[in-house]
Amino acid sequence: MSIPRASCIGALTLGLALAILAASAGMARAEAAAASGAAADEKAPSADQPKTSEKAPAARKPRPPLTEEEVKQLPPLKRFDIPIEKGEELLKDVKDETFGYDESAFYYVVEKVRKSPADLFKPDAEVTPYRTLMAMPSSYRGQPVTIRGIYMTAAPFSPPPLALWKDVHTLYECSIREHPLNEHRPIATVIVIDDPMTYLRAGDDVRVKGYFYKVRTYDFRREDESGQMVTGTTSAPLLVARRLEAETPASPLTRLGPPPSLFGGDWTCAALTVAVVVLLGGAFFYLVSRTRGKTHAATQRPVHRFRLRRPDRIEPPGASGPGDASGGPKP
C-alpha cells in the first residue's frame, strides 16, 4: 500500500517543528538553571568570610551634637537652595509688627540676595515711601523696592552657623531714617551684606534697593517739643539688600532746606553774608588790639623817680604844716 507524497511532506514538516520547539525549551531551561546557580553562588558565603549571626542588627546610637569645628567644615546647606515656590510659602508665614527676624524665610531671602548679581540691586530713580510699605506689607513682601533716607548707625552681627552658607560670616543691621531730619520720622532697618562703615559716615544721605521683608516694631526714646523724654513703640519697614548707596554728601543744614545761592538771583542774602563777615572780622581785630595793649601795659616795669636836694639850700617851713605856735618846724 503506497503512502501519498503530500502526507509524507506534512509529517516531516510537523516533526521538524516539534524538534525546534523541544530544542528551544531545552535551551531556556539551561539558561534558567545557570542563572539560579550563579545566584546561589553569590548568596553562599565563601570559606574566607566569617560567618554572621542571623540575629537582627542592634539599634544605632544617636550621634552626639556637632562641635564648632565640625560645623565650620560642613558643606553648604541645601535646605536654603530651594525653588521660588517654596520661598514664597516661607514668606507667607512671616508676621508683621514683630521685632525679631531669626527665621528660615529671612535666611532664604539673604541667600537669594547673595547669589543674585550686584547689578540687580542698583537703586531706582523712583523711591517707595515708608508709609506705603507699612500700609500694604503683604502686597510688597518679597518684592524689590527702593527707599532713601539718612544713614544713622550700623551694627555687625554673625548669623547662626547652620543658617547660611559658609561664606556669609557677617551681616550688618543698618538704621535709615526717613526725611526730613527735623521731624519725627520712622527709622527703617536694612540688613546688608557689604560693610557700610568703610565708605559711609553717620548723617549721609543714602539710597538702597532690596527685598521688602516685613514691618518691624521697635522701641524709641526721644525728646518732645517741651524737652521731656518720651518713650514708646513704633514700626518701620525692614529690607534685605546687598549694600547702601551714598547720594551727594550733604550737611544737616542742607537737609532742612536748600541754602541761598551766593551767585544766583538772591543777592540780598549775599550782601548780608558779606556784611556779617566784615563785622565779625572788625570785632575780632578790635579785641586783638585791645588785648595786646593791656598785655603790654601789664608787662612794663615801673619807673621810680628820685628828687635830689642841694646840701646848701634850706627848705622854707610849710605854711600850714604841723609845728609849734611860731609856725616853725618842731625840734
Q: What is the reported pLDDT for 252?
A: 47
Is the confidence at residue 130, as pLDDT, over 60?
yes
Q: Which CATH class is domain 84-248?
A: mainly beta
* Per-residue pLDDT reduced to its tens digit, 7-63: 666 666 666 667 676 666 667 666 666 666 555 555 555 545 555 555 555 665 666
* Per-residue pLDDT reduced to its tens digit, 164-223: 555 678 999 999 999 887 788 899 999 999 999 999 999 999 999 999 999 999 998 887
Q: For residue 263, what is its C-alpha cell?
A: 551767585
Strands 205-223 and 229-241, bridge-based pairing:
antiparallel
Amino acid at 302: P
Q: Report domain extents, the chain.
A: 84-248
What are the DSSP E strand ranges found in 242-295?
Answer: 245-246
- Collapse the DSSP code of 207 into the 3-class scheme (helix H, G, I; strand E, B; otherwise coil) and give the result: strand
**Residues contacting 202, CB < 8 A, separation 6+:** 151, 152, 153
173 in Cβ contact with 101 (< 8 Å)? no
Enter the pTM of the model.
Answer: 0.52
* pLDDT band, residue 272 (cuts 50/70/90): confident
Please provide the average confidence, as pLDDT, over all residues in the chain.
74
Q: Among 73-77, 101-105, 192-196, 277-281, where is mean pLDDT lowest?
A: 73-77
* Per-residue pLDDT reduced to its tens digit, 284-316: 777 777 776 555 555 555 555 555 555 565 555
Q: Which residues of 256-288 are buried (b: 16+ CB within 10 A; e: fewer)?
A: eeeeeeeeeeeeeeeeeeeeeeeeeeeeeeeee
In angstroms, the first-to-last Cα distance of the chain is: 216
Q: What does 28-49 look like in DSSP terms, one character per residue?
A: HHHHHHHHHHHHHHHHSPPSSS
